Amino acid sequence: MKKNYPSPLIGILTSRKANGALAGNCPLFIELQKRLISLNGISFVFIPEEIEKDSIIGYQFSPDDKCWFKKRFRYPDLVYNRIPFQKSEQAESSQYLFSLLKERNIPFFNPCFIDKYELYLLLKNHDPLQQYLPQTILAKDQEKLFSFLKNFNVLYLKPRYSSKGKGIFRLSIKGPGRIELEGIKHKESFPSFKLFWKSWNKELLEKNYLAQEGIESEEYAGHRFDFRILAHAEEDDFVITGVGIRQSHKQGITTHIPAGGRLLPYHMLQTTEHDQFMQAIVPHVGKALSAKLGFFGEFSIDAGVSKTGRYYIYEVNSKPMSFDETEIEERKIEQLCRLFLQLTETQK
């Protein structure tokens, strides 16, 4: 096909929902299109199943008409991976597309969802980050899990591929032999660990749970809080785009807003020590991920600080959710478009 589009041409990769509609963060796609047009670029949204030998069927947003148009495009100069479902990303059609992009030397990011346990092992082997990791094991052996629980008294149980706080539980020893399991909307007690395991081992094994050391988090106004750090690649480094505070509110298990957490502006709790911690970890996390899994142009980090003042990295997300802070979302659009231009310029 003739190159008859502005440059760069950015392909935003997503998938379909069960009802056939396009999935993903539509407001983000629209804002990226608006900003790219102002930079003499353009973007389109597409799915792996609609690629052809020399062209791609895609969907382009028109700011003037305020609607989407289905069109045929040449292969893009860069692909921004926003497939929102792990199952879709692992599908044969997606994996074929990724191999095709590599063959055609078309840059793309981010390459994959992050397995929480693989992340732990990866960062644990990266010297500058070891000190910030809560101890973590797979929750697949009764004796090992019980020993781990006795060691820390409180654990967090998390599915290896979950996000937004889904499926997370807190497991605690509450007295001689008594075990308590608490979720966002679930609370259950067991007279022994053996009975807990009998009741829950199928769930833990089928959903590939891991167990993470329970950290006694610092609190503000009587509720624990975490940092949400948004980061992007810039030149040969990684920089902080924005930081938000998420605080537990209606329940104490997770600070995620969909699960009842609430937002606080970072400046309310900002300290020199917090800033230094974030500035220290972001480049190392980005470089560790990119060296092992493929280029990560964007990621977010869930981190926190304990009551003793020790900092922790809890999770890293390869497909960051939208931030409720408008100024962070605006900087995100700018950083992404800057990265698009940088990466496509180096391909010329």
Contact status, residue 173 vs residue 179, Cβ threshold 8 Å: yes
Let me know the angle formed at the C-alpha of 240 by 238 and 242, rounded to the nearest 5 degrees: 150
Determine the pLDDT at residue 162.
78
Rounded Cα distance between 1 and 72, Å, is 10
The CB density around residue 268, as the number of other CB atoms within 10 Å, is 9
* SS3 of the chain: helix, strand, coil, percent, to 5: 35, 30, 35
Buried b (16+ CB within 10 A) or exposed e, 317-338: bbbbbebebeebbebbbebbbb
Asked if the model's pLDDT at residue 59 lies above 70, the reply is yes
Q: Which of 132-136, 230-234, 255-259 has the lowest mean pLDDT?
A: 255-259
pLDDT of residue 184: 79
**pLDDT value of position 257:** 52
| Rounded Cα–Cα distance for residues 122 and 144 (Å) | 22
**CB contact at 8 A, 36 and 337:** yes
* CATH C-level class of 116-133+217-345: alpha beta
Residues 125-135 have a mean pLDDT of 96
**DSSP per residue over 292-303, as a string?**
HHS--SEEEEEE
Top pLDDT among 166 and 309 is at: 309
Asked whether 120 and 136 are in contact (CB, 8 A), the reply is yes
User: Does residue 256 have a pLDDT over 60?
Assistant: no
Please tell me the predicted confidence (pLDDT) of residue 2. Answer: 41
Judged by average pLDDT, the poorest of 68-82, 127-141, 280-294, 333-347 is 333-347
Q: Which residue has the higher pLDDT, 25 or 164?
A: 25
Output the pLDDT for position 231: 98
Write down the mean pLDDT value for the chain.
92
| Average pLDDT rounded to a whole number, residues 27-48 | 96
In order of 45, 198, 210, 279, the CA distances from 311 in angstroms are: 39, 35, 21, 13
Report the pLDDT value the prediction gives residue 166, as an integer from 0 to 100.
81
Please report, for the chain, the start and end positions of each structural domain, with discontinuous segments joined by +.
Answer: 9-109, 116-133+217-345, 136-213
Q: At what angle do helices 272-293 and 116-124 cross, to 10 degrees?
A: 100
Strands 154-159 and 223-234, bridge-based pairing: unpaired
The architecture of the domain spanning 9-109 is 3-Layer(aba) Sandwich (3.40)
pTM reported for the whole predicted model: 0.92
User: Is residue 251 predicted with pLDDT exceeding 60?
Assistant: no
Per-residue pLDDT, 63: 95
Using pLDDT thresholds of 50, 70 and 90, give the confidence band for residue 186: confident
